[in-house]
Amino acid sequence: MRFVNGRQCTGNGAGSWSGAEVGAAFTHEKDQGCLGSRGACKAEKGLWVMKHIAIGILGAAALGFMASAASAGTLDTVKQKGFIQCGVSTGLAGFSAPDDKGEWQGIDADFCRAVAAAVFGDGTKVKFTPLSAKERFTALQSGEVDILSRNTTWTINRDTALGLNFVGVTYYDGQGFMINAKKLPGVNSALQLSGAAVCVQSGTTTELNLADYFKSNKMEYNPVVFEKLEEVNAAYDAGRCDVYTTDQSGLYGIRLTLGSPADHVVLPEIISKEPLGPAVRQGDDQWYHIVKWTLFALINAEEYGITKANVDEMKNSDNPEIKRILGQEADTKIGTDLGVSNDWVVNIVKAVGNYGEMFDRNVGSGSPLKIARGINALWTKGGLQYAPPIR
């Protein structure tokens, strides 16, 4: 930001001045002090322009150096410490929650294992940091975690003002409502909830969507707000509110943890778009690409029928796409150009399977949640999951 003749001016970047700005600035300086001959003033103007062009070049070079330094960070740090630090929820079934042995399970936890497999060839080289909704962004921004994989909705504000880069969508979700049907008999729609006390977690898009939905439908409600997920769960189970609202996938998981799961019903309305996905810090393109292409590798593996059980056999396939994905193409540099080994996709699939296997095991038919694939099916099967080609 610069001021010429008392007016704020913006150029093409730090250290960058437009021709109009240079002329205006020189005219201002000339008016203040260039009182010699026309030739002397012309020479002074030439020197002034050359000086500021040099300053601009040096400024741009400095910015380039800083950008280069920033982009070299996370992968090197991760390799030095020998593991990936993954930010997850404090416990949401199907996404990230410790099992009875203390091992973190869920789509979000498995995604971090997939990244560890891509980087180290070993999906166990990951540590998990449970984070509340309020803590999660600060933990990523500060470097406390390397990846935030915590059922987090991708929004423009988070992608810009918070300095995050979302790598894609691991689960297409939407916000819903759950009620205790025994306490609210006859309620079968969210449009019947006017005047209800609604349990909601603070610091989430859920809280904002709730306000928008009730306002747009000219209904009233009493928010019962808590910072931590377990506090919301306990309050709802204890009857401190009539309704629980969060992502619909989460409601199915939370219902399993309640004292009398069969008493609770998830209402049919979906009131928002909630594309859930992992995020990394801005300013580190190499790390962003590794994490992003890990997701694309999982989706491509499912599309081409590459599974945890057959991945070694598939390395001998004659299909050029499969050979390329699995690093078997002659003279391939796809993995090394990314910053990992050329068998990175093989390592990912061996660690967690493909996207479909990861989905079914954690939230789908092979899990207690039994959630249908729906819009999370591959694009070839009527869903939204689609990945660019690995080539």
**Residue 388 falls within a domain, yes or no?**
no
Query: pLDDT, tens digit, for every residue of 71-85?
Result: 459 999 999 999 999
Give the residues across from 9 on adjacent strands: 2
**Residue 346 falls within a domain, yes or no?**
yes
Q: How far apart are CA 234 and CA 201, in angstroms?
A: 12
Give the residues across from 139 on adjacent strands: none
Instruction: Please count the structural domains in the chain.
Output: 3
Q: Are residues 139 and 168 in the same domain?
A: yes
Pairing of strands 97-98, 104-105: antiparallel
Chain-centre distance for alpha carbon 294: 13
Q: Are residues 301 and 318 in the same domain?
A: yes
Query: Is 154's pLDDT higher than 90?
Result: yes
Q: What is the pLDDT of residue 70?
A: 42
Q: How far apart are CA 391 and CA 378, in angstroms?
A: 19
Q: Final residue of a domain: which of 272, 298, 328? A: 272
Give the residues across from 246 on adjacent strands: 176
Q: What is the pLDDT of residue 163?
A: 94
Query: Is 17's pLDDT higher than 50?
Result: no
Q: What is the pLDDT of residue 131?
A: 97
**In the structure, what pLDDT confidence band is assigned to residue 9 with cuts at 50, 70 and 90?**
very low
In degrees rounded to 5, what are phi and psi of residue 197?
-90, 125
List Cα–Cα distances, 156 to 128, 161, 248, in angstroms.
Answer: 26, 8, 22
**Residue 390 falls within a domain, yes or no?**
no
Give the residues across from 88 on adjacent strands: 130
Domain residues for the domain of 44 are: 2-71
**Residue 391 falls within a domain, yes or no?**
no
**Residue 127 falls within a domain, yes or no?**
yes
**Who has greater pLDDT, 37 or 317?**
317
Q: How far apart are CA 167 and CA 108, in angstroms?
A: 13
Q: Final residue of a domain: which of 224, 249, 272? A: 272
Query: pLDDT, tens digit, for every residue of 85-103?
Result: 999 999 999 999 999 999 9
Q: Are residues 263 and 337 in the same domain?
A: no
Please check whether residue 279 is in contact with residue 271, taking contact to mean a CB–CB distance below 8 angstroms.
no
**Beta-sheet strands, E only, within the chain:** 2-4, 7-9, 84-88, 97-98, 104-105, 126-130, 147-148, 164-166, 171-173, 175-180, 196-201, 221-226, 243-247, 264-266, 274-276, 279-281
Q: Are residues 238 and 305 in the same domain?
A: no
Q: Are residues 211 and 268 in the same domain?
A: yes
**Residue 293 falls within a domain, yes or no?**
yes
Query: Is 183's pLDDT higher than 50?
Result: yes
Average pLDDT for residues 250-262, to the nearest whole number? 94
Q: Mind giving me the DSSP string for 372-386?
A: --GGGSBGGGTSSB-
Pairing of strands 84-88, 147-148: parallel
Query: pLDDT, tens digit, for every residue of 19-50?
Result: 334 343 333 333 444 444 444 444 444 444 44
- Token pair of 298, please? 């999982």
3-state SS class at 261: helix
Q: Are residues 168 and 281 in the same domain?
A: yes
**Residue 56 falls within a domain, yes or no?**
yes
Instruction: Indicate the range of 53-62, 104-113, 274-283, 360-369 predicted with least confidence.
Output: 53-62
**In the structure, what pLDDT confidence band is assigned to residue 66 with cuts at 50, 70 and 90?**
very low
Average pLDDT of the residues of the chain: 86
Q: What is the pLDDT of residue 84?
A: 98
| CATH number assigned to the domain comprising residue 229 | 3.40.190.10
**Who has greater pLDDT, 226 or 51?**
226
Q: Mind giving me the DSSP string for 10-76?
A: --SSTT---HHHHHHHHHHHHHHH--S-HHHHHHHHHHHHHHHHHHHHHHHHHHHHHHHHHHTHHHH
Average pLDDT for residues 290-304, to the nearest whole number? 98
Query: Is 7's pLDDT higher than 70?
Result: no
**Who has greater pLDDT, 64 or 95?**
95
**In the structure, what pLDDT confidence band is assigned to residue 261 with cuts at 50, 70 and 90?**
very high
**Residue 137 falls within a domain, yes or no?**
yes
Q: Are residues 159 and 285 in the same domain?
A: yes
Q: Are residues 289 and 368 in the same domain?
A: yes
Q: Are residues 362 and 304 in the same domain?
A: yes
Q: Are residues 283 and 377 in the same domain?
A: yes
In degrees rounded to 5, what are phi and psi of residue 95?
-115, -55
Query: pLDDT, tens digit, for every residue of 188-218?
Result: 999 999 999 999 999 899 999 999 999 999 9
Q: Are residues 197 and 260 in the same domain?
A: yes
Q: Final residue of a domain: which of 17, 45, 71? A: 71
Q: What is the pLDDT of residue 357?
A: 98
Query: pLDDT, tens digit, for every residue of 121-152?
Result: 999 999 999 999 999 999 999 999 999 999 99
Q: Are residues 267 and 296 in the same domain?
A: no
Q: What is the pLDDT of residue 139?
A: 98
